[in-house]
Structures are given as C-alpha cells and as structure tokens.
Copies of this chain bind each other. A is one copy, B any other.
Amino acid sequence: MSVKPTIKEIAKLANVSIGTVDRVLHNRGDVSKKTTQLIRGIMEEINYVPNTFARNLALNKNFKIAVLLPEHEKGEYWTAPLKGAKKALKDFKALGTMVQIYLYDQKDKNSFFEVSSRIFKDKNDAILLAQVLFDETKSFLEECKKKKVPFILIGTGQHNSGAISYIGQNSHQGGRLAGELLSFGQNKQSKFLVLNITKAQNPNVNVKERIAGFESYFKDNKEQEFQIEVFSVPQEDKNVVQKIKEKLSSLNNLKGIFVPNSKSFILAKALSPSHHIRIVGYDLLDKNKQLLENKKIDFLINQRPYDQAYQGIEYLYKFLGMQQDPPQVVSLPLDIVTKEKLMYY
C-alpha cells in the first residue's frame, strides 16, 4: 500500500490550484508559460499518472459498441469471434460500455440491410465487423464514415475503408508458413498442390494473399526444386469432390496439399482413408478439428478469430473512452495447431 501522487499534491508543490494543474494536464490553455513549465517539470519529476478511476468517473461516459456478424451454426467459423465478443461484453460492462450483437443472414442481402440499419437506429457509438458480404458492407461502411461512427474490421476487409483499425493476420506470411510446413523434410522432387475451394459469392482477398505467400516461399527457397500447382474449384459445384479426386489422381508424387481457407473438410471427402499426403489447412472449425484428431490432416493455421473480436472491442473502447488510437493494422501472430495442441481449443 503506497500512495500515488495526485494533482492536489502537484498543485501544492507548484503553489497553484488544482484547476491550473488540470489546465496544463489537458493543454486547455489560459496558463502562463512559466507556470506551465513549472508544472510540467514537477509532473515529470514525480512521474505523475492520472488516476484512471477518478478520471473515468468524472468523465462519466457510457458507450454502445455494435458487433455485426453473420448468423451461423455451432462449430462454424463465426462461433469463435462471437464468443470473443460475448466475453468482451461481460468484461466491459463494469466499465460502462455496452456491447450489442447483431447477426444477419449471410445468404440474404436484405437481412444485412435490415440488421445494419438497426445499428444506426440504436445509436451505437462504434462498430466491430467482418467484411463478409463485400459490396454491401462497403456501402454500409461509407455510411458509417458519413455519420462519423468509428469502426474496426476483423479478419477480412479492405484496408482503405476508413476503419480506425484492421485486425487480422498476415495472410502472405501465413502462406509462407504453409509452404514451410508442407515442404519441411520432404524429398526434393515432391509436388505440392494448392487446393482453392472457392465461394462464388464472396471472393476472399486473404486467400489470394495466402497463395501468393505460399508461392513466394518456394521462390525464396529455390534450392529445393519443389513443384507447386494451384487448382481452383467452386464449392457450389455439385461435383467438387469428384473433381478433386480426379485432380489428385492425375498428379504423381504429390506430397502435400495446402488448403488456403477453411475448406479442408471438403478435401477430406476426396481422400483415400490411408493417404500419405501432408496437408496444411486453415481455421479451427469443428469439422477440421476432427480431421486433425483423426490424422487426416496435419496442420491447421488458426486465425484466432476469438482474439480478433475481443481485441477489436478493447481497441474501440480505448478509442472512445481514452482517446487512444489503435494501430492502423494489427497482425495477430500465426498460430500453428497440431493434434497434440487440440486440447487448448
């Protein structure tokens, strides 16, 4: 139990009133140069830091933060950020910040419009969201800018959208990591496949970058002479599995597959029960975790969507309540998940 210096003590030391101290503390002017410097010096010397509790109590601000995400089933990707948001909801309530969750139907654009407009009606002070429906979200973000509602994009989203922060993962580096994990200890003559199972409606920028990163890894490690090939197939295609099967059997000496999105579980359907192909995928969906558990695949790169959402709300809170600007881009460290690490998720 020690004591922290207060503005009152600074005032006494400087022979002024607390009002004056407060004025220099917040650069509110109306203070002579001499006393300003005197007070600044004293603050410096005694290492003064304002009491957050008193500060926030006096400011007495209550904020509402909206979280906008797609509806989803249990075990899907979006359960994770939702969990993070709910944790934040709980943690920040005592700090006077309300977190409200808004879910829309990904397949129904009207649902998006309806839900997102409700965010404005409810007078939220800030928004956390993922840019899933690219174009619709884009115009929504334009409106946010107009109305001066700050927002943070998580996971995916265009960087020039006006977000105060973009929280995600370095996709390029993720691709490189995948390259490293796939090629690691393999024969020089091995062949690797990038299996891009696309979603027609929402082309994903991250996936592109991951593939580019994957390729760049092999460009930087030429001495290994691996062959890589990219194969794309739309998820909506009725014969996806068949097409993948054909592709696989057409390749000899295939030693590794990189699935640059969460669709490993589709690839799994096309694999023979006891294959010897190393597989690196993305995202800890329940289905994908099962694949790890059963050793059908080897590595999953975790985007840490839970942390993305939680940190996003934390940043919004600090932005609103303590005028702290978050970093423009926050890159969460890549997280490699193996069977033996599953217990943590």
Minimum distance in angstroms from A58 CB to a CB of chain B: 9
Could you tell me if A180 and B340 are in contact, using CB atoms closer than 8 angstroms? yes
Q: Given A53-B56, A185-B185 in contact, is the A2-B339 Cβ separation under 8 Å?
A: no
Of A17-25, A59-67, A235-243, A264-272, the segment with at least 4 beta carbons within 8 Å of chain B is A59-67
Minimum distance in angstroms from A62 CB to a CB of chain B: 5
| Chain A window 1-43, contacts with chain B (Cβ cutoff 8 Å), 1 for yes, 0 for no | 1111000000000000000000000000000000000000000
Instruction: Give Cα A339 to B61, complex, Å.
Output: 46
Assess whether A117 is interfacial by the CB under 8 Å rule.
no
Could you tell me if B177 and A93 are in contact, using CB atoms closer than 8 angstroms? no
Could you tell me if B1 and A177 are in contact, using CB atoms closer than 8 angstroms? no
Assess whether A49 is interfacial by the CB under 8 Å rule.
yes
Of A68-76, A153-161, A193-201, A330-338, the segment with at least 4 beta carbons within 8 Å of chain B is A330-338
Complex contacts, A184 vs chain B, CB 8 Å: 185, 298
Q: Given A53-B52, A94-B51 in contact, is the A1-B64 Cβ separation under 8 Å?
A: yes
Closest to A339 in B: B180
Q: Which chain A residues numbered 276 to 324 have a C-beta less than 8 Å away from chain B?
A: 278, 298
Instruction: Give Cα A180 to B4, complex, Å.
Output: 51
Instruction: Give Cα A184 to B299, complex, Å.
Output: 11
Complex contacts, A180 vs chain B, CB 8 Å: 338-340
Assess whether A145 is interfacial by the CB under 8 Å rule.
no
Assess whether A98 is interfacial by the CB under 8 Å rule.
yes
Complex contacts, A185 vs chain B, CB 8 Å: 184-186, 278
Minimum distance in angstroms from A203 CB to a CB of chain B: 26
Assess whether A341 is interfacial by the CB under 8 Å rule.
yes
Q: Given A57-B57, A338-B336 in contact, is the A62-B2 Cβ separation under 8 Å?
A: yes
Assess whether A95 is interfacial by the CB under 8 Å rule.
yes
Instruction: Give Cα A177 to B292, complex, Å.
Output: 14
Assess whether A173 is interfacial by the CB under 8 Å rule.
yes
Complex contacts, A176 vs chain B, CB 8 Å: 340
Could you tell me if B2 and A98 are in contact, using CB atoms closer than 8 angstroms? yes
Could you tell me if A177 and B95 are in contact, using CB atoms closer than 8 angstroms? no
Q: Which of B51, B98, B338, B344 contacts A181 (CB 8 A)?
A: B338
Assess whether A87 is interfacial by the CB under 8 Å rule.
no
Complex contacts, A123 vs chain B, CB 8 Å: 1-2
Could you tell me if A96 and B53 are in contact, using CB atoms closer than 8 angstroms? yes
Instruction: Give Cα A176 to B57, complex, Å.
Output: 50
Could you tell me if A336 and B339 are in contact, using CB atoms closer than 8 angstroms? no
Complex contacts, A4 vs chain B, CB 8 Å: 62, 93, 96, 98
Could you tell me if B56 and A93 are in contact, using CB atoms closer than 8 angstroms? no
Assess whether A125 is interfacial by the CB under 8 Å rule.
yes
Could you tell me if A333 and B338 are in contact, using CB atoms closer than 8 angstroms? no
Instruction: Give Cα A336 to B278, complex, Å.
Output: 18
| Chain A window 100-121, contacts with chain B (Cβ cutoff 8 Å), 1 for yes, 0 for no | 0000000000000000000000
Could you tell me if A1 and B94 are in contact, using CB atoms closer than 8 angstroms? no
A2-B62, A334-B340 are known contacts; what are 7 more A-B pairs with Cβ within 8 Å? A1-B64, A2-B63, A53-B56, A53-B96, A179-B340, A217-B340, A333-B344
